[in-house]
Structures are given as structure tokens and as C-alpha cells.
């Protein structure tokens, strides 16, 4: 299984992008076969006018979406927690992990003043 490094800031960004919270997941996104990515808005089909497209806005989100589309080219929803990202084949089916996260604390370097 693929592993990628995710910072705590990346996870916070994923959470901040959420339009509708899901108490069971840190963040939920949809990915389209053409690569478009947008946050969860409603169960079932999300009307185009309700989508906020995020492809390219956040590199780690785009990386996770690309890995998801490699597993499931038809697209759909993927689910994120602190350990990784998941999908399921059926609405009530089990969740399958498709990427492990290596979580690292974000450190911002501030150079000493001269």
C-alpha cells in the first residue's frame, strides 16, 4: 500500500475545506474521473452548482485524489482520518484503505533577525 507524508497543517487544511461536517470522518471529498476534487456537501449526487472545486489548490489533497483515482478510475467519495484515506465500493460496504499517512508535525522556520 502506498504511503505518503502528511503534515498536521495538511490535515487541518483538509478539515477547513469541509462544507458539511461528517462526525465519523476527519474530511470527506469527491473525485471525478477527470480529476476534479470537491468536498462533501450532501449524500448522493452533488449538483454542480454546489461544488467547490479544489484540484491544484492543495498539493497533498490532489496527491491523495490521484491515488484514489488510480484505485478507482470511475471516481466517487474518499474519506480521510489521521491514519490514511479510504473508499468503499458500495454504500454500506466496508471501507478499504488505499493510502497510509505518515503524519509529521509541521514546523515553521523563522530565521534569526539580523
44-98: pLDDT as tens digits: 666 666 666 677 778 899 999 999 999 899 988 999 999 999 998 777 778 999 9
User: What pLDDT, on a 0 to 100 scale, did the predictor assign at position 98?
Assistant: 93
* Residues 91, 74: Cα–Cα separation, whole Å: 15
Query: Residues 82, 10, 29, 31: what is their CA dihedral angle, to the nearest 10 degrees?
Result: -120
User: What pLDDT, on a 0 to 100 scale, did the predictor assign at position 62?
Assistant: 93
Read off the pTM.
0.82
* Residues 63, 46: Cα–Cα separation, whole Å: 22
Residue 3 backbone phi and psi in degrees, to 5: -125, 135
Amino acid at each position: 500500500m502506498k504511503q505518503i507524508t502528511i503534515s498536521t497543517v495538511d490535515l487541518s487544511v483538509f478539515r477547513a475545506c469541509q462544507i458539511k461536517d461528517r462526525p465519523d470522518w476527519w474530511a470527506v471529498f469527491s473525485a471525478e474521473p477527470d480529476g476534479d476534487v470537491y468536498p462533501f456537501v450532501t449524500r448522493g449526487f452533488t449538483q454542480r452548482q454546489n461544488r467547490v472545486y479544489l484540484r491544484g489548490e492543495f498539493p497533498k489533497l490532489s496527491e491523495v485524489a490521484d491515488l484514489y483515482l488510480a484505485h478507482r478510475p470511475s471516481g466517487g467519495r474518499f474519506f480521510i482520518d489521521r491514519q490514511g484515506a479510504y473508499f468503499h465500493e458500495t454504500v454500506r460496504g466496508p471501507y478499504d484503505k488505499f493510502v497510509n499517512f505518515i503524519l509529521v508535525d509541521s514546523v515553521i522556520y523563522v530565521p534569526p533577525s539580523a
